[in-house]
Chain A
Amino acid sequence: MLAKETIGDLDAEQVLRRLFDAALDAALPDEKFDAILPARPKGRTIVLGAGKASARMARAFEDAWGEPLEGLIVTRYGHAVETRHVKVVEAAHPVPDEAGLKATREIVEMARGAGPNDLVVVLISGGASSLLTMPANGISLADKQNITRQLLRSGAPIGAMNAVRKAFSAVKGGKLALAAAPAKVVTYIISDVPGDDPATVGSGPSIVTGADLDDVQAILRRFRIDIPEHAAQSLVANSAPEAETDRNTVHMIATPRMSLDAARREAEAMGIAAVILGDAIEGEAREVAVAMAGIVRSIIQYNTPFAPPCVLLSGGETTVTLRPEAVGRGGRNTEFLLALYLALKPYSQVAAIACDTDGIDGTEENAGAWFDFSSDFSGPSDPAAYLDRNDAYTFFRAAKRLVVTGPTYTNVNDFRAILVR
């Protein structure tokens, strides 16, 4: 590792951008498939998928696989990219619309049409859960909505809620893989969930977990979820013996953890020690910033929990609660960064970057922003007023400290790096 004074000579903007670029590279599906392609089937290769990154995943898979190839994926409005063989449909997220319902029916039909010699490739990323919506046989959309409302009010933990949702769905919780049987199913996932459990990303449409009918019925009784008689019958009817799915495989091609690991390797290549605080940090953006500022001050004042120079890396997804006086220009990453800026202002040792890996932080054109206290900073003199108005974007734009990448069509949530020299 370099001595402190050597780090001081590194240009902070370059260091921070290199860290983010490394994280972003790791988050892209491009060139990730070559090493993990399945054997070519005798029959057809059918690509099915859903999620905010599914179009770019489909294109990357096409590049690696070549021909023949067919399929259909559904992505969020504005997230389509050009593909050669796989049809791309755009639909609404997070509230499903008719386009999503129709695409889901088509995707399930294509899975059902697969034969024993066919290969089904499933591409899943964040957002798939709302994009793939299809009630199980005998259940209406109104039934599903009614059950969801009751679940939300019941105080049931998220795991229990998802188990019930999967039980009433014709596509979630491995139902898509069951529909595709006896075809072999290979699943590729870009994760945006804490823990990177394949069954959780997009509600795991191709991951058969064998949820027990008894478990689901116990949850319904315990949280006093009232379901109509026909729904109860459908629940039993739809929990038919499972198909043979032992040949199926799952690959994680990008996760928040992989991106943070890539950033750490990049930091170490520059001679800076890096630590990952967590890949799933949640909470109100400005409060998370204040807490991290506490750790940074401790590093500067007492060399604990880490000795400078170092980089603190973290991922996850913070939230922003809009204030009454909000003008609302800016997303959770710039809001985090402005709160961090305010909390650490006297410390010239600190530089930081915070960006959304999907390339768009909130509503404007930027992925995020950065600052460096040791450089000339010509931003507005009243940062607290900008934070009060949730207007971090305007603050960093005026300071010429925005990070702009354009949409990346992938997503492993937030990327934050704090450099302490």
Chain B
Amino acid sequence: MTRHEPRTFLKSLFQAAVAAADPKDALRPYLPEKPKGRTIIVGAGKAASQMAAAFESLWDGPIEGVVVDRHGKTTATRQIEVIHAAHPVPDTSGLAASRRLLETVTGLTSDDLVIALMSGGGSALLPLPTGDLSFEDEAEVNRILLSSGAPIAAMNVLRKHVSAIKGGRLAKAAAPARVVSLLVSDVAGDNPAIVASGPTVPDMTTPADALEIIEEHHLMLPEKVMAHLRSSAAFAPRPDDPVFERNVAHVIASAHLSLQAASAKAAQLGLPCVVLSDAIEGEAKDIARMHAAITRNVVRYGEPFKGPIVLLSGGETTVSMRGESGGKGGRNTEFLLALAQGIEGMDDVHVLAADTDGIDGSEDNAGAFADGKTMSRMRAAGIDPRKSLCKHDAWTAFAAVDDLFVTGPTGTNVNDFRAILIGS
């Protein structure tokens, strides 16, 4: 086994994960054949403008269309228009955006091709109530869902049944044109119908499923919404509808695919690697404690894996702010600061945790490095790591020991990337 410089090694795994999610490289294998008619691009999500720019650079032929991205800085495009809407709480600009997407695919022929570029966050960017519901009704459903703790798959079942664009309705509007959906997934299991609540990808869920989720999660929805869900207006198109016959959907990038790429990179560098999960959620510091416990188990007992080994995990943790804060940092540095306590004194453990979009929370770093000596280095630098964690001030603690990991924006996003190198 060759000896690796731990941080260089971990960095190369991160780069492999990010490269696998690069929109241009990821789109290339899934480009469809050119149609006889027009090529229309629609899209929504936090990666919409990046995907649109990448698609433009790959496609040689006339294209037109519009994608909706978050307010703020987005990637420049030449032919495809980029419009903006609010995320994660929808606003009326999203309403206009949804109507634009539907108009863009209306009146097409069977010779035309629609490319749908969907990514995480698309659901919030595309509000458009159906039936008798108002924008406020749909927004209220979303507010209740976000505070319910329900998994994203359950949320999206509900969203698609109160929407005039989700759950395959955008694809239905595009008929008889063929629709090719190319997706960057941020959902566990990479189900195409769940990414952005599947505007172009219908699934088999029904209003009855939505009602069951409401009961299961004890959601108190407005009576108007309940009445709608009990009416025929709530039914979304079914996947076996003949108009979808020629359509396809591909997940071009996801946490799963990126972790596999990182895993392959580790193997290439001569170290075994195991993916714990591509979808670990939960409070960052508790998730860190669990990663630390598994790490200790590997170090002490060679269980459940024998070292040397790299443990990889992805997903999106959360940080619940307690009391007054004002601290700097994001969920990855918070994760690492809590993890550092659990691996203190372990000489042969090195960790990188970073957001694959290149920005972890409030500052300019993607994440940070931690190891068995992080705690003592911080104390020597006059930082009390436990207090820093309580104040959610992990960035300051890692900055004080110069262990931040800075990449700049990466141009893609498949959530968090965590790699724990045990032994070397």
Contacts and interface: CB of A to CB of B under 8 A. Distances in A.
Interface stretch (A44-52, A53-61, A66-74, A272-280): A272-280
A381 B296 CA distance: 38
A195 B301 contact: no
A288 interface: yes
Nearest to A260: B303
Contact of B188 (A155, A297, A314, A388): A297
Contacts of A283: 283, 285-287, 289-290
Interface stretch (A179-187, A301-309, A350-358): A301-309
Given A157-B344, A277-B297, A384-B148, A287 B287 contact: yes
Contacts of B149: 384
Contacts of A295: 276-277, 280
Contact of A345 (B216, B280, B293, B297): B216
A290 interface: yes
Contact of B297 (A278, A294, A306): A278
B301 A257 contact: yes
Contacts of A385: 218
A384 B304 contact: no
B293 A381 contact: no
A382 B213 CA distance: 9
A277 B153 CA distance: 27
B290 A288 contact: yes
B300 interface: yes
B386 interface: yes
Nearest to A305: B274
A173 interface: no
A384 B217 contact: yes
A281 interface: yes
B79 to A, nearest CB: 37
A209 to B, nearest CB: 16
B306 to A, nearest CB: 12
A135 interface: no
Q: Which of A280, A291, A297 has the most CB of B within 10 A?
A: A291
Given A155-B386, A305-B305, A382-B218, A297 B279 contact: yes
A284 interface: yes
Interface residues of A, number: 40
Contact of A305 (B148, B276, B300): B276
B420 to A, nearest CB: 12
Contact of A384 (B216, B279, B281, B286): B216
Contact of A294 (B153, B281, B286, B289): B281
Interface residues of B, number: 43
B151 interface: yes
Contacts of B296: 194-195, 278, 280
A297 B290 contact: no
B274 A291 contact: no
Contacts of B278: 298, 302
A291 B287 contact: yes
A277 B294 contact: yes
Interface string A378-411: 0001111100100000000000000000000000
Interface in B77-136: none
Contact of A281 (B216, B281, B289, B313): B289
Contacts of B422: none
A155 to B, nearest CB: 4
Nearest to A344: B151
Nearest to B305: A305
A282 interface: yes
Interface string B312-346: 01010000000000000000000000000000100
Contact of A383 (B216, B282, B290, B315): B216
Q: 6 tightest A-B contacts by CB? A: A287-B286, A283-B286, A278-B293, A294-B280, A294-B277, A290-B282
14 contacts: A155-B384, A155-B386, A278-B290, A278-B296, A283-B285, A283-B286, A283-B290, A288-B282, A288-B289, A291-B282, A295-B277, A304-B275, A305-B277, A384-B217
Given A275-B303, A294-B280, 18 more contacts: A155-B384, A155-B387, A194-B293, A195-B296, A277-B293, A277-B297, A281-B293, A287-B283, A287-B286, A287-B287, A288-B286, A291-B280, A294-B277, A295-B277, A295-B280, A298-B277, A305-B276, A306-B304
Interface of A: 155, 157, 194-195, 257, 275-284, 287-288, 290-292, 294-295, 297-298, 301-302, 304-306, 314, 316, 343, 345-346, 381-385, 388
